[in-house]
Amino acid sequence: MVPIPHIVAIPYPAQGHVLPLMELSLWLVKEGCKITFVNSEFNHKRVIKALSENDDVQKKISLVSIPDGLGPEEDRTDLKKLTEAIAEVMPGKLEEVINMINNESDDENGVSCVIVDENMGWALGVAEKLNIRRVAFWPAAAATLASSFNVSKLIDDGIIDSDGAILKKQGIKLSPNMPIMNPSDFAWACFPDPTMRKMVIELVKDNNERVKSADWIICNSAKELEPGAFAMFPQVSPIGPLLASNRLGFSAGHFWPEDSSCLKWLDQQPNNSVIYVAFGSFTILDSAQFQELALGLELSKRRFLWVVRENLLTDEAADNAYPKGFKDRIGNRGHIVKWAPQQEVLAHPSIACFLSHCGWNSTVESVSNGVPFLCWPYFADQLFNQSYICDVWKVGLGFKKNEFGIIGKEEIKNKMDQLFGDEVFKERALDLQAKVKSSVKGGGSSNKMFGKFIDWIKTG
């Protein structure tokens, strides 16, 4: 009898990383694999709490946790503190989990492979030490991975210094077939604090070395979306977009319970009439910017579904932050929830556009549903994803900030009018959707690559 592959999956402890690796895990379960999914204790509790009663994820996947090295009340948005704590505590704890599984199993049912978020390169080191096959998973655009792989060249070319500080501000092309990248959009450049920037660039260099030991590097993207990046790094295998809808299931791994009431509200709205507004799990707005966004939505006179999660605001509870009388004036034209079933929302016929932070999951979900964008990037790779959306695929528009660094209500209304007033954005979005959909269907480029990957997993 052929043993069932037992895979340990380890995401980076952030929402945008847990979701796609959980999706990959559910795909692998469908293919007959056994999965142990290792979250940090802090995120494990959130994921369990957010699972709905009719969710059978825990029957399909073994959800386990290890400490991230921080106390329950410590601030996990302090990335320096979190990164240092992870490096100190998690490698030993992961090794304990793998040894425990192997000790409780016979030889045939022990851990056969680990799939590690590429940002957690140390976990590849743990697997190498234990002589287990290794897969690096990149949950974002291949182009952003390419920028990480090019760190040494960027230093040699005098674009950045060895600590990640930008020396030349002009746009660069990593290869002739890739879009121009602005050095200020590189992941490490988002940190104004030099010690934090240095820590991130050292982590990138370390991950670059660790990933050399991986048997596969797989990426949640498609050749059709970024041909230049995949041509530049042929060792990176596109297997995406990994979406629950393509698996005919529901997404899992959310940190907050999804409010499905918004789907009933969407059912009552005309086709292509609703602006979906959501900023992912990390974006933070101050009250002045929050008010301008609310007033912009009001001024637009358009229908909207707005996700206002608990910690979206820097300085006060969201309930007190809306402009006076805003909810009364909006009435039923707007619907506000704390967290939405995003893939289902974007697939709904009433959605006309997505006002998004441009995280990669949101980007591929919107592209896969033929929905154009209004781009509001906040951090890290989101800034580069906007250039794909606006400059390369041409399926969206960005906003301009005023002299105070705020995106004003008039700017928000004007960009909405521009997007709604030009059918070309929707046409291009539908063309891109068709290409991406074909990549994951039988015979498509991602589908074939995923098939090769599964064959490798099963041949032990």
For the sheet with 34-40, list strands across it.
62-66, 34-40, 6-10, 113-117, 133-138, 216-219, 236-238
> What is the model's pLDDT at position 277?
98
> What is the model's pLDDT at position 190?
82
List 274's β-bridge partners, or say none.
303, 351
For the stretch 76-125, pLDDT in tens is: 888 889 999 999 999 999 999 999 999 987 767 789 999 999 999 999 99
Taking Cα atoms as reference points, which of 310, 307, 306, 330 lies closest to residue 319?
Answer: 310
CA separation, residue 302 to residues 240, 244, 282, 413 (Å)? 33, 29, 26, 9
Tell me the C-alpha distance between 205 and 389, whole Å. Answer: 28
Structure-token pair, residue 368:
């896969």
CA separation, residue 234 to residues 140, 219, 224 (Å)? 16, 11, 14
> What is the model's pLDDT at position 396?
98
pTM of the model: 0.94
CB atoms within 10 A of CB 387: 21
> What is the model's pLDDT at position 318?
60
> What is the model's pLDDT at position 292?
96
Tell me the C-alpha distance between 329 and 87, whole Å. Answer: 50
Q: How many residues does the chain have?
A: 460
Structure-token pair, residue 421:
């007033």
> What is the model's pLDDT at position 251?
84
Residue located via tokens 């199993």: 105
> What is the model's pLDDT at position 56?
81
List 285's β-bridge partners, or say none.
313
> What is the model's pLDDT at position 206?
94
Spell out the per-residue pLDDT of the chain, length 460, in tens: 668 899 999 999 999 999 999 999 999 999 999 999 999 999 999 999 988 766 788 889 999 999 999 988 888 888 889 999 999 999 999 999 999 999 987 767 789 999 999 999 999 999 999 999 999 999 999 999 999 999 999 999 999 999 989 999 888 989 888 888 888 888 888 888 889 899 999 999 999 999 999 999 999 999 999 999 999 999 999 999 999 888 878 888 999 899 999 999 999 999 999 999 999 988 889 989 999 999 999 999 999 999 999 888 876 666 678 999 999 999 999 999 999 999 999 999 999 999 999 999 999 999 999 999 999 999 888 999 999 999 999 999 999 999 999 999 999 999 999 999 999 999 999 999 999 999 999 999 999 999 999 999 998 6
Q: Are 117 and 23 in contact (CB under 8 A)?
A: no
Residue located via tokens 């098939």: 451
Taking Cα atoms as reference points, which of 147, 226, 139 lies closest to residue 186?
Answer: 147
> What is the model's pLDDT at position 107?
62
